[in-house]
Chains A and B, each alone.
Chain A
């Protein structure tokens, strides 16, 4: 085999470029693994409590849908690690998709690959470097997670099974993304394909789990996420499903390599079609709308689906609502009756998603500037305030719209499950998340105006921190004022709690202050920033 010359150099280069992304996500996952292990040990000290928790989990459709079954009733890892492993699976999949795309198609589109073509670097080298990096990161992140689960006090066999399962997901999606980058007409389309495959894999696994013991269970075997889950950490470990992943990796790498030999650098096997020769876009706002259209539609689908799934699954706890289970669920997070509790937990998660949407929307300002597009828009007479507003508005208006979609989905889902539930209750539970998501978007805009190069790190970092502070406040035994740095900490847990206006208005005031700062700084700075 030839064409690999220079792979080592490219690998080092790719590692250097993504080192922060890799480092932050890896450390975050390890911390989460350790914390979940500790929490599981703390939460269910006795076997009776474990059996009960696992039974409640298995009977709750929402839990099964997201995290799967725990078949060993007295498993210590059980519910706690089932949750952890599914989160790890998704994180590693997203990470390797990003890494492979970055080092292949993104570089091609930026013309960097072409620059290399004039050097002795082999044709296969960029893909080989991307794949090696993703495989390596999967091993480090996966086995590291296993290590930390073991260190947290859970048995080691399960810990290593979990670590290998996470690695396996990374390897599977490395292979699949390697194929996707060959096929797609552009890096953006490649992202759409890769994430659709991830969504499909999750869906197949989910339906398979919900149909456990009934026809349809086999669907989980069509999903790489299902294979990894069937390694069954803390659930009667077995190792042969790992071979399925290995097989998928080998086959997809061979396919990717064959496709690479036939495709042209810079384009995929599917070609770009001609588009309209005219356009009606005539303002900065219309332009921002057009640029973000695809993303907004995608997010809208995610929010609607999320609401529907959550709504149709949350009501089915049934006969398990004994006083002990309720007490247990309370210990998992908060006050109120169980149904209300679940609603507020799901609404909070949707709030995180809304913040992610908003941060992504305003960060478009940064890429537009870095790509040299903002320069042309400003030169064409658009004011700086309008430019900033154009993308900001998508976030500001988008957040309530997305949360409304989720709330309506939740309501319809509950109706279809025969539950007696009011639309207002759904709407208010999701709407209370709006100010927290706004504040994070406003912070990101301020970061963009002040230190554009760090805007993305600050925005995503702030969201990660905001989530960790809420989710791990009890575990990490943080003082209240530190936990209070997370905007989500101040959101009233509707419908379990009653509405409190003061913190919500406070968040809005802080958001406005960030925006005032952003607008005054942005008017004065150089563009593109130095």
Chain B
């Protein structure tokens, strides 16, 4: 499996603000990689570094095995910025063509198809588009190129649910054609619906990477059971949390590696009924957001003497 994007120990300081703090990220060829994190986590900064727009302060960053920003690399990728800003005096159609041509051409059939699917009027001046329509222009320009790698920063912001589906379908089609996608978002459901693997980012550092299944696996399982012979002691089992006991029924969450032990403890008490379910990713995700963030990393002020 070839790796399209390889980032290790990536650090970026903007003056005294540390936007990235030792980020590691690997995106494999042909996968849709979700890049998840709360506001200000460093997602957009990472994408900008991958595009060669922003220079890293430390760490390495390879894209198609080369350093970012080189013309031959740029031509193999397409980008949808998080803040889409269009030339107000050009029409949507002109902008789509322009970005496509700069990249070395775009597929006219695909362009027409996308315009129809996204229901966009290409003859309107960019100034007069609604937010969602501006987003569509950027999306069509990127999707209609024959890029091998798609870097999209919160691509569905401003799109209505119907258009979100159109986008998701198109990205899936692209994957079957072998395109690699790095999808930055803070909307879990979007990533859940599309991504093969996910990197969870927080305060400039990745805290988790893996497939959604793996991520779930790494985390807790919620267990609910009805017991024939309830007796105390469950609370002492290592790995069991949030224990609730009410006349014969118990509920708790348990870490994956302690599941075996917990079930053994239950069976001693005579299991009458049992449900086990993975903690939903939503909860997991929110939990990541909620745990107190390390105070915004700041670099020491240069000493003034």
Contact = CB atoms under 8 A, between A and B. Distances in A.
Contacts of A13: none
Contact of B102 (A109, A382, A527): A382
A186 B94 contact: no
Interface stretch (B120-128, B175-183, B193-201): B120-128
A283 B99 CA distance: 9
B79 interface: yes
B127 A186 contact: yes
A282 B95 CA distance: 10
B102 A372 contact: no
Interface string A370-389: 01110111111111000000
A376 B15 contact: no
Contact of A277 (B88, B102, B103, B122): B122
B93 A380 contact: no
Nearest to A274: B123
A199 to B, nearest CB: 22
Task: Please classify how large the interface on chain B is, using the bins under 10, 10 to 19, 20 to 34, 35 or more.
Answer: 35 or more
A526 B81 contact: no
A291 B98 CA distance: 12
Interface stretch (B52-60, B154-162, B213-221, B237-245): B52-60
Given A376-B81, A379-B53, A275 B71 contact: no
B10 interface: no
Contacts of A332: none
Interface in B70-103: 71, 74-75, 77-79, 81, 83-91, 93-95, 97-99, 101-103
A278 B97 contact: yes
Given A281-B97, A379-B79, A381-B104, A275 B123 contact: yes
A379 B93 contact: no
A371 B79 CA distance: 16
Contact of B55 (A186, A272, A280, A524): A524
A283 B93 contact: no
A267 B127 CA distance: 10
B83 A372 contact: yes
A276 B123 contact: yes
Most buried by B among A279, A287, A373, A530: A279
Q: Is the interface of A mostly helix, strand, loop or mixed?
A: loop
Contacts of B77: 379
A282 B15 CA distance: 36
A527 B53 contact: yes
Given A377-B102, A378-B51, A381-B71, A279 B93 contact: yes
Interface in A194-209: none
Contacts of B15: 530
Interface string A491-530: 0000000000000000000000000000000001111101
A123 B77 CA distance: 45
B170 interface: no
For B55, B84, B98, B123, the residue with the greatest tally of chain A CB atoms inside 10 Å of its CB is B98
A188 B89 contact: yes
B14 interface: yes
B191 to A, nearest CB: 22
B53 A109 contact: no
A284 interface: yes
A437 B170 CA distance: 51
Nearest to B85: A372
Contacts of A186: 88-89, 127
Contacts of B84: 372
A274 B74 contact: no
Interface residues of A, number: 37
A527 B103 CA distance: 19
B91 A274 contact: yes
Interface string A239-279: 00000000000000000000000000001000010111111
A283 B127 contact: no
B38 to A, nearest CB: 21
Nearest to A370: B85
B94 A279 contact: yes
Contact of B98 (A267, A272, A287, A379): A287
A278 B92 CA distance: 9
Interface in B18-34: none
Given A275-B125, A284-B102, A526 B87 contact: no
B57 to A, nearest CB: 10
Which of the listed residues B14, B52, B128 has the most CB atoms from chain A within 10 Å of its own CB?
B128
A280 B75 CA distance: 19
A371 to B, nearest CB: 5
B88 to A, nearest CB: 7
A109 B88 contact: yes
A109 B101 CA distance: 28
Contacts of A380: 74, 78-79, 99, 102-103
Interface string B120-158: 011111011000000000100000000000010000000
Contact of B103 (A278, A280, A381, A528): A381
B14 A530 contact: yes
B99 A526 contact: no
A267 B128 CA distance: 9
Contacts of B74: 378-382
Contacts of B79: 376, 379-380
B94 A275 contact: yes
Nearest to A281: B98
B18 to A, nearest CB: 13
Nearest to A275: B91
Contacts of A291: 87, 89
Contacts of A530: 14-15
Nearest to B95: A279
A274 B124 contact: yes
Contacts of B98: 279, 281-282, 287
5 contacts: A279-B90, A281-B97, A376-B79, A380-B79, A383-B71
Given A277-B93, A530-B15, 20 more contacts: A109-B88, A186-B88, A267-B128, A272-B128, A274-B123, A277-B91, A287-B98, A291-B87, A371-B85, A373-B85, A375-B81, A376-B138, A378-B53, A378-B74, A379-B53, A380-B74, A380-B78, A380-B103, A381-B75, A528-B53
The 5 closest A-B pairs by CB, nearest first: A282-B101, A381-B74, A279-B94, A277-B93, A372-B85
